[in-house]
Amino acid sequence: MILASKSPRRKEILGNVGFKLKIVSADVDEISNKTDNIEKIMDIAYKKTVAVANNYEEHFVVGADTIVELDGEIIGKPRDEEDAKSILQRLSGKSHRVITGYCLINKEKNILIKDYGVTTVFFKKLDKSMIEWYIESKQPMDKAGAYGIQDKGSVFIEKIDGDFFTVMGFPIAKFIETLKKIGIELNEIDRI
């Protein structure tokens, strides 16, 4: 299967369940004219996936995109350390949603699936020293919402309502269910 993403987290999640992956990403503008945040994230995941699938028509190609949504506003990756600090201060003591949209395309078999996962994340109240400690690690800089649930940012999380892997960057259980619906079983995943 081709993963239309450079995300090490998506590669790890898919690889851990047995997918043999080839990484091919396309340079795509990650913008959408959709107004609903879920529609927007699925549209961006589709654009990333179809850009690669157009060159690999006989392969299964999967792509995804993740956003953090606070009070309806999309929080992307931080621009710099000051922006990361501001984002973490905004998330402190509140709940937010993490939405990961994904797309699976196989042009030769006429397969196009778009779906998403949503998880609510509840943050602890963060003090200045916690935020500075995390920013010094450089870990928040390449992540939507300026934190990773799988790294040092895990200490900020009080609880989640939903799927851990949606927050990490790919709703793997939902994706496997999607594959089963089109007739691909777990024992076949290393062949797609």
CA dihedral 10, 13, 15, 17 (to 10 degrees): -150
CB atoms within 10 A of CB 81: 15
What burial class does residue 103 get, using C-beta atoms within 10 Å of its C-beta: 0-12 exposed, 13-18 middle, 19+ buried?
buried
- Distance between CA atoms of 73 and 66, rounded to whole angstroms? 13
The CATH code of the domain that includes 122 is 3.90.950.10
Q: Are strands 22-23 and 61-70 parallel, antiparallel or unpaired?
A: unpaired
pLDDT tens track, the chain, 192 positions: 999 998 899 999 999 998 999 999 888 988 999 999 999 999 999 999 999 999 999 999 999 999 999 999 999 899 999 999 999 999 999 999 999 999 999 999 999 999 999 999 999 999 999 999 999 999 999 899 999 999 999 999 999 999 999 999 999 999 999 999 988 887 777 767
39-45: which pairs have CB atoms within 8 A and are 24 or more residues apart?
Answer: 40/67, 40/74, 41/65, 41/66, 41/67, 41/99, 41/100, 41/101, 41/116, 42/101, 42/102, 42/103, 42/114, 42/115, 42/116, 43/101, 44/101, 45/101, 45/102, 45/103, 45/114, 45/116
Query: How many domains in the chain?
Result: 1
Q: What is the pLDDT of residue 187?
A: 78
Cβ atoms within 10 Å of 174's Cβ, excluding its own: 16
**pLDDT computed for residue 114 by the predictor:** 96
DSSP reduced 3-state for 30: coil
What CA–CA distance (Å, rounded) separates 130 from 138? 13
The pLDDT assigned to 6 comes to 87
Catalytic residues: 65
Q: Which domain holds residue 8?
A: 2-191
191 exposure class (CB count in 10 Å sphere: 0-12, 13-18, 19+): exposed
CA separation for the pair 66, 179 (Å, rounded): 20
Whole-number pLDDT of residue 161: 98
Can you give the pLDDT at residue 188?
A: 75
Task: Tell me if 131 sits within 8 A of 87, measured CB to CB.
Answer: no
